[in-house]
């Protein structure tokens, strides 16, 4: 057996053994557990001690990372090799947050001069819009930005805006993503075209939803300002510069990026220009710096003290060792409430693959379902199932240690819930404990017999805690880079290319086939169910 197969077999055996024990008991058996499984990096505190692995399990997981040559893959990514093999591309979103003078090459070609030049243009544009030096066609300063994009051209900037937006922004930033006219109508209803800057964000500049919304926004501007006027209210962010000029965006309002930046990794690029304008450049630069700090850690920390690697290994231990096919991510932070939606694209679009780069089926399960929403809200919604459902779902709970926002006393309540949930997931509540409580309350024995099991919590449900010292541009950047590298490490260990997304193509092609059938009754070949639905919807 090859080393990697041996390492997988060891991990599976170690997980099986650990899975028969209780997590809470590991703390007694392993006096160093807390020390070994907590770490502080770039303003984040990670606690993986409530995970399902024991010492032997962790060791087996680290051996697996070693056998999969995570370190070699990491060097190839940062070295700008064509690790996205199916598209022949390097993967260098890390260059977008690297300092100007860094030596970074994509497929052997230096990239930092171009990166820095776009960054400087972004900065100048952001400052000029904020200062009212760049204005609309009728001379009014821009008070609102309409950011149009979808997927990676939407989820990251939306999350970034929520995380960093001032309490009372001077520029109102709005997002439109879906090709559902209701979203466009609701979002623009109270905007004044004279004071609105429209930013069309699309790596390819061909995405159906984005181009439909961009066309609608252009028409909305033209109706108020005329053709020439409308152009002054447009900016475009894309790698397809020929298409942006065909759309009528003046060249000086086009901000490029590169094919070595995947859509779901693009929030470090001009894709987030709208946020840089609305939050100010310093905040955006802080975000880049936080990402760079995590990059430095990921590249240099030993495997056993490497935050993205440990986070990835915990996921693999749960997914492959213990067959847990979902993970819930719950930020106890209103500002981070869209994190799970962002991670759905990052992790599931990157690693939801069934074959490797050689076209051969993978031998083990890959990406799990990721879901979640903000705590404490979810405690009053789906947490029942997390505590007492038949399936164990590993949890990731994210908190912010210090916050001065809002009314006094609330933040401690928020934190107490975060800690309580993690403890409850692990410790649970025994039937004996419940029985004693019910007896003390004088509940009759017959009732106790049926009530006690319903009030029992099995516990032993693993969780990871990530606590930001404060929610700053830097810690937020470090958090996002942490998840990016975690996703990459998982892809390396699963033996897949995390940087293409062929799985999104089929639906797009079929929608384009169905559209003329809905619009004008053209005929097409479909299964009976789809044909019947087309007929029905045409009516």
Q: Which of 264, 324, 337, 486 binds ligand F6P (CB under 6 A)?
A: 264
* Least Å from the CB of residue 504 to ligand F6P: 4
150 binds ligand F6P (CB under 6 A): yes
152 near ligand F6P, rule: CB under 6 A: yes
DSSP 8-class letter at 50:
T
Please, which of residues 286-305 interact with ligand F6P by CB under 6 A?
none
The answer to the question of residue 203 lying near ligand F6P (CB under 6 A) is yes
**Taking each helix axis from N to C terminus, what angle separates 281-300 and 473-494, rounded to the nearest 10 degrees?**
40
Q: Determine the longest span between alpha carbons in the chain, in angstroms.
A: 82
Spatial CA neighbour of 352 closest among 367, 342, 365, 371: 367
Find the shortest distance in angstroms from Cβ 262 to ligand F6P.
Answer: 7
Residue 238 CB, shortest distance to ligand F6P, in Å, is 8
Q: Of residues 196, 274, 366, 501, which one binds ligand F6P by CB under 6 A? A: 501
Query: Which CB sits closer to ligand F6P, 170 or 204?
Result: 204
Q: Is 380 known to be catalytic?
A: yes
Q: Which two tokens stand for residue 465?
A: 């805690």
Active site residue 517: no
Question: Least separation, in Å, of the C-beta of 150 and ligand F6P?
Answer: 5
204 binds ligand F6P (CB under 6 A): yes
Q: How many residues bind ligand F6P (CB under 6 A)?
A: 14
Q: Which of 84, 94, 210, 344 binds ligand F6P (CB under 6 A)?
A: 210
Residue 344 makes contact with ligand F6P by CB under 6 A: no
> Which of 347, 349 has the CB closer to ligand F6P?
349
Strand order in the sheet with 144-148: 172-176, 144-148, 196-201, 234-238, 254-256
Tell me whether residue 362 or residue 511 sits nearer to ligand F6P (CB atom): 511
Q: Does 263 bind ligand F6P (CB under 6 A)?
A: yes
Q: Which of 380, 412, 441, 519 is catalytic?
A: 380
Whichever of 210 and 244 has its CB closer to ligand F6P, that residue is 210
The yes or no reply on residue 504 touching ligand F6P (CB under 6 A) is yes
C-beta of 194: minimal distance to ligand F6P in Å? Answer: 27
Q: Does 274 contact ligand F6P by CB under 6 A?
A: no
- Member of 202, 272, 344, 351 binding ligand F6P (CB under 6 A): 202
Query: What is the rounded end-to-end Cα distance, in angstroms, of the chain?
Result: 61
Contacts of 424 (CB under 8 A, 6+ apart): 387, 457, 459
Distance of alpha carbon 337 from alpha carbon 381, whole angstroms: 15
In whole angstroms, the minimum distance from the beta carbon of 208 to ligand F6P comes to 9
Collapsing DSSP states into helix, strand and coil, what is residue 466? strand
Selection from 257, 292, 293, 271 nearest residue 98 by Cα: 292
8 A C-beta contact, residue 373 and residue 381: yes
When the beta carbons of 241 and 415 are compared against ligand F6P, the nearer one is 241
* Interface positions, 23-82, toward ligand F6P (CB under 6 A): none
Q: Candidates 147-155, 390-398, 484-492, 520-528: pick the segment binding ligand F6P (CB under 6 A).
A: 147-155
How many CB atoms are located within 10 Å of the residue 150 CB? 20
- Two structure tokens written together for 23: 């997590």
What residues have CB less than 8 Å from 391, skipping those under 6 apart? 324, 326
The active-site residue, picked from 12, 81, 194, 349, is 349
Length of the chain: 539
Contact 124, 504 (CB under 8 A): no
| Closer residue to ligand F6P, CB minimum distance, 19 or 151 | 151
* DSSP track, 354-422: SB-TTSPBPSS--PPEEE---TTGGGGTTHHHHHHSSS---EEEEEEEE---SSTTHHHHHHHHHHHHH
Element of type H or E holding 345:
none
Is residue 511 at the binding interface for ligand F6P, with CB under 6 A as the rule? no
Among 94, 207, 328, 368, binds ligand F6P (CB under 6 A): 207
Cβ closer to ligand F6P: 152 or 308? Answer: 152
Helix (H, G, I), strand (E, B) or coil at 274: helix
- Reply yes or no on whether 349 is catalytic: yes
Site string (383-412) toward ligand F6P, x via CB under 6 A: ------------------------------
E strands, 86-227, are 105-106, 109-110, 144-148, 172-176, 196-201
Catalytic residue list: 349, 380, 508
Q: Which residues bind ligand F6P (CB under 6 A)?
A: 150-153, 202-204, 207, 210, 263-264, 349, 501, 504
């Amino acid at each position: 057996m090859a080393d990697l197969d041996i390492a997988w077999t060891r991990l599976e055996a170690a997980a099986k053994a650990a899975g028969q024990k209780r997590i809470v008991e590991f703390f007694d058996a392993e006096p160093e557990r807390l020390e070994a499984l907590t770490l502080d990096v770039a303003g984040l505190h990670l606690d993986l001690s409530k995970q399902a692995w024991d010492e032997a399990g962790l060791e087996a997981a680290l051996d697996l990372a070693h056998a999969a040559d995570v370190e070699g893959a990491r060097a190839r990514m940062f070295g700008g090799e064509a690790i996205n093999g199916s598209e022949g591309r390097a993967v260098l979103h890390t260059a977008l947050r690297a300092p100007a003078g860094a030596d970074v090459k994509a497929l052997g070609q230096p990239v930092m001069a171009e990166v820095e030049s776009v960054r400087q243009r972004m900065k100048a544009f952001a400052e000029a819009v904020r200062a009212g030096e760049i204005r609309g066609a009728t001379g009014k300063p821009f008070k609102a930005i309409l950011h149009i994009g979808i997927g990676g051209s939407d989820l990251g900037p939306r999350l970034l805006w929520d995380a960093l937006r001032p309490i009372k922004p001077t520029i109102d930033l709005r997002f439109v993503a879906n090709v559902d006219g209701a979203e466009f109508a609701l979002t623009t209803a109270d905007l004044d075209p004279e004071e609105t800057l429209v930013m069309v964000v699309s790596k390819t500049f061909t995405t159906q939803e984005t181009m439909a919304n961009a066309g609608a926004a252009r028409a909305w501007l033209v109706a108020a300002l005329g053709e020439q006027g409308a152009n002054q209210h447009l900016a475009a962010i894309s790698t397809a510069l020929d298409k942006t000029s065909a759309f009528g965006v003046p060249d000086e309002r086009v901000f490029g990026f590169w094919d070595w930046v995947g859509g779901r990794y693009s929030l470090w690029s001009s894709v987030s220009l709208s946020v840089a304008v609305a939050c100010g450049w310093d905040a955006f630069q802080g975000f880049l710096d936080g990402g760079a700090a995590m990059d430095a850690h990921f590249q240099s920390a030993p495997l056993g003290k490497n935050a993205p690697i440990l986070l990835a290994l915990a996921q693999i231990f749960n997914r492959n060792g213990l067959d847990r096919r979902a993970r819930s991510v719950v930020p106890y932070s209103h500002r981070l409430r869209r994190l799970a939606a962002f991670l759905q694209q990052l992790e599931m679009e990157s690693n939801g693959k069934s074959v490797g780069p050689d076209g051969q089926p993978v031998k083990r399960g890959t990406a799990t379902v990721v879901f979640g929403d903000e705590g404490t809200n979810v405690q009053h919604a789906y947490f029942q199932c997390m505590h007492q459902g038949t399936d164990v779902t590993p949890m990731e709970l994210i908190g912010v240690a210090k916050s001065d926002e809002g009314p006094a006393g609330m933040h401690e309540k928020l934190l107490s819930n975060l800690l309580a949930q993690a403890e409850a997931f692990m410790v649970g509540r025994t039937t004996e404990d419940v029985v004693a409580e019910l007896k003390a309350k004088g509940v009759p024995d017959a009732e106790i017999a049926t009530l006690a099991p319903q009030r029992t919590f099995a516990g032993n449900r693993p969780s990871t805690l990530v606590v930001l010292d404060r929610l700053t541009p830097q810690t937020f950047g470090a958090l996002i880079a942490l998840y990016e590298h975690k996703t990459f490490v998982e892809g390396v260990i699963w033996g897949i290319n995390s940087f293409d997304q062929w799985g999104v193509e089929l639906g797009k092609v079929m929608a384009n086939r169905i559209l003329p059938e809905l619009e004008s009754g053209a005929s097409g070949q479909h299964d009976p169910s789809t044909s019947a639905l087309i007929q029905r919807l045409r009516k």
